[in-house]
Structure 1
Amino acid sequence: MGNTDKFETIANIYDTSERIQIAKVSSDAIREYVVDAKDKHAIDFGCGTGLVGMNLLNEFNSMLFLDTSPNMINQIKQKISDFNIPNVDTLCFDFEKEGLSDLHADYIIMAQVLLHIKDVEFVLSKLFDVLNEGGHLLIVDFNKNEEIVSDIVHNGFNQDDLADMMAKIGYRDIQSKTFYHGSKIFMGQDASMFILDSQR
């Protein structure tokens, strides 16, 4: 997945107070869309150090923390060990490079991950295959921001365009809304974040 090298180098200093705060508002937004999931299996896709997924452990029966960065996964393993967390697992894996046919989930969470993925449609198609019938993909990311010019990340997303792309893949019941505005939260710029819920 995009920018793995960068995340490798910052894994042990990743959990800043700003990132912890953004993770909290993101997980609070996600929680609104999680219904009767105590017996469900979730994947925190592109989990980083698990800041969002860790906030949502009580919502699900089990969770897989998946990331392309071994150092990020090591940070999560340390948290799991420190807090003796049951019913969780970790996987270091790159969906953009290889397929994983035996992976399935009822919920997939992607918080500020899509902006790092080069071929968005390709990865969303792969995740569609991972979802069980009726399963949910929940995306939290930045709204498109023309102030941001970068060759390493997307400058956010237009919610309607993203919904159209996902509908073509086969996702249904797609709904999204902007839920947070923050100062200097996206590459030093003021930005807003949306949440999108979709079903297989």
Structure 2
Amino acid sequence: MSENIFETLAKRYDTPKQQALATTIRAKIQTKLPETAQKTLLDYGAGTGLISLPLAKKFKKVYLVDTAAEMLKISKIKIKQQNLTNVTLQQQDFASTTPTIQADVILLSLVLLHIPDTKKILTSLYQTLHTNGQLIIVDFDKNTAVHHPKIHSGFDHNALEKLLADIGFKEINIQTFYTGDKIFMNQKAALFIATSVK
């Protein structure tokens, strides 16, 4: 991930537009969650916790992991404000270091497009999941209008499904669930949710 960009963006990341998109994404994620009361959630690329902190009370334990320290500082303030005692913050890049956490549910929301080596990070997350654990990815459908040297221009469903299967994931389901104006590099774009099980 482009750490420098997110270190800089942290203090102005939670815009009304970002919050509205997070609400839409979170609502869809909740329809895919298993019974979570005794489970551990790992939000990789958690940013300021926009997606996962409102879900924290549904889980036994929540890990917010991000490469950007400034993002995690904002999350820390929110955790204190909301009096959440089951949330742990960790600054780490799973693409370059071995994860030390194990989780039942891993969430990756609008993060995969920022990671150059898709296979490497998904393999790392596979290893981080408990057996029968669930990976939930939310990201953009492939978008020919988006061109940027540091991000993917979205993902093709069939290619992502094949990659997840090659790594070892099963019960893979990918569906587009939302289309919005100017949500991806100022372009109209569609979001998908991909669920799979280790």
TM-score by length of 2: 0.98
Q: Distance in 1 between matches of 2:132 and 2:15?
A: 35
Which position in structure 2 is the counterpart of 1:6?
5
Counting only pairs closer than 5 Å after superposition, residues 43-82 of structure 1 correspond to structure 2 as 43-82=42-81
Greater mean alpha carbon deviation, residues 57-66 or residues 103-112: 57-66
- Consecutive unaligned residues of structure 2, counting only runs of 5 or more, are none
Which position in structure 1 is the counterpart of 2:91?
92
Which position in structure 2 is the counterpart of 1:189?
187
Q: Distance in 2 between matches of 1:151 and 1:16?
A: 25
- Structure 1 residue 159, shift from structure 2 partner: 1.1
- Structure 1 residue 92, shift from structure 2 partner: 0.3
- Structure 1 residue 152, shift from structure 2 partner: 1.2
Q: Distance in 2 between matches of 1:31 and 1:143?
A: 20
- Structure 1 residue 40, shift from structure 2 partner: 0.1
Deviations 1:79-135 (A, max 9, x none): 1112211211000001122112x3100000000000000000000000000000000
Identity among equivalent pairs (%): 35
Deviations 1:45-94 (A, max 9, x none): 10010000012113211110000000001110111112211211000001
What amino acid is aligned across from residue 169 of structure 2 in structure 1?
Answer: Y
- Consecutive unaligned residues of structure 1, counting only runs of 5 or more, are none
Which position in structure 1 is the counterpart of 2:177?
179
Q: Distance in 1 between matches of 2:193 and 2:57?
A: 20
Q: Distance in 2 between matches of 1:72 and 1:30?
A: 22
The ranges of structure 1 where at least 4 consecutive aligned residues each deviate by more than 3 angstroms after the TM superposition are: none
Per the alignment, in what secondary structure is the counterpart of residue 76 of structure 1? helix
Q: CA RMSD in A?
A: 0.8
1:134 aligns with 2:128: no
Which position in structure 1 is the counterpart of 2:144?
146
